[in-house]
Structure 1
Amino acid sequence: MSLNIIKLSVGTETPDGLREWQSSFQAIYGRVYHTTRMTPKRKDEILAGGSIYWVIKGAIRCRQQVIDLEEFVNEEGTKYCRIVLDPEIVDTRPYPHRAFQGWRYLTEDKCPPDDKQGGGTEALPDDMADELRNLGLI
C-alpha cells in the first residue's frame, strides 16, 4: 500500500493557480518539484504510488503523484529534499483541513477521492464554498 504526503500550497488560490505556477516552474527548470527541509523517512512507501495532496484555502483540493525524493546539500551545507512530482494535477473532492507547518504523512483512508466529474465546489463562488465547508456541509 502506498503512503501519501499532505502539504500547504501557500499563496495559491485554486488548483488552476497551482497549475499555472508549476507550468512556469517547469518551463524554467524542466521538471516539477517542491523543495522541503525534511526528507521523508518512509521513502519506499511514498514511491510505491503515493501522491502529494495540496491544501489550498483551507481544504485539500488536488494531488500530484510523487515520482522521486532527492536529497541534496546546498552551498551552506544544509540538507534538503526535492519532492519530484508528476506535472499532472488531479482535482480531488474538497476536504477541509487546517493549516500546519511543513508536510505530513497522509494514509489512504484519510485521502479525499478524486473529483472525476470536475464539478466539486468549483461551480460555487469561493466564499460560499468556504462557508459551506466550515459548516461541514461539503
Structure 2
Amino acid sequence: MTRVAVGCPDYASLEQRIAMRAEGGEVRFTTRFKPKRADELIGGRLHFIVKHMLVGRVEILRFDERADGRIDIVCVANLERIHPQPKRAHQGWRYLADADAPKGLDEGGGIGDLPPELYRELAGLSLI
C-alpha cells in the first residue's frame, strides 16, 4: 500500500513523526475504510510518499476497528528507508503491486543518505 506523508517535508521528519507516535513498538495510521484486501496486506508494507517520491516503509501488522467507525492500520514502528521511487500523490491509500514496490537500501552503502532529488538525477544518468 502507499500513503502520502502529509506535512512531512523529508524522510527525517517522517521518521521523527513515527517515533513520536509509537507505543509499544507499534504505530497506528487512521483511515476511513478497511481495504477489501486487508487479509493479504497483513505482513506486507505500507509505503510513504514524500514530495512525490516513495521514501520509506513500515510493516503492516493488522487492521483494528475503532469506536468511531474508522480503521487503524497498525504497523511496526520501525521506518525502513527504501530506494526513492517517483510516485504521484493521492488521497488516502492505494494498493501497490509487489513488482512495483521499491527495494530496501543496503545497510552502510550511503545511497540512503542522498536527498531524493539527487538520487533521482543520478538514477536518471544510470549511475546508481
Q: State the TM-score, normalizing by the size of structure 2.
A: 0.84
Q: Please state if 1:73 is matched with 2:46.
A: no
Task: Give me the whole-angstrom Cα distance separating, in 1, the residues matched to 2:9 and 2:39.
Answer: 32
Aligned equivalent of 1:122, options 103, 113, 116: 113
Unmatched segments (≥5 aa) in structure 2: none
What's 1:91 paired with? 81
CA 1:59–1:71 in 2, change beyond 3 Å: closer, same or farther?
Answer: same
- Cα distance per residue 1:9-54 (max 9 Å; x no partner): 0111222211211222126x8741100112111111011x201000
User: Secondary structure, in 3 states, of the residue corresponding to 2:70?
Assistant: strand
**Unmatched tracts of structure 1, length 5 or more:** none
Residue 17 (structure 1) aligned with residue 21 (structure 2): no
Aligned-residue CA RMSD in angstroms? 2.4
Question: In the aligned structure 1, how far is the partner of 2:124 from the partner of 2:112?
Answer: 13
Q: Does residue 1:63 correspond to 2:57, yes or no?
A: yes
Do residues 108 (structure 1) and 98 (structure 2) align?
yes
How far 1:123 sits from its partner (Å)? 2.9
CA contact (8 A) 1:71 1:82 kept: yes
Q: Structure 1 CA distance, aligned partners of 2:32 and 2:119?
A: 30
Measured in 1, the distance between the counterparts of 2:120 and 2:45 equals 28
Q: Quick one: structure 1 residues 32 and 121, their matched pair in 2 at CA, closer, same or farther if it must change by over 3 Å?
A: closer
Partner of 1:32: 27
TM-score by length of 1: 0.78
Q: How many residues are matched?
A: 125
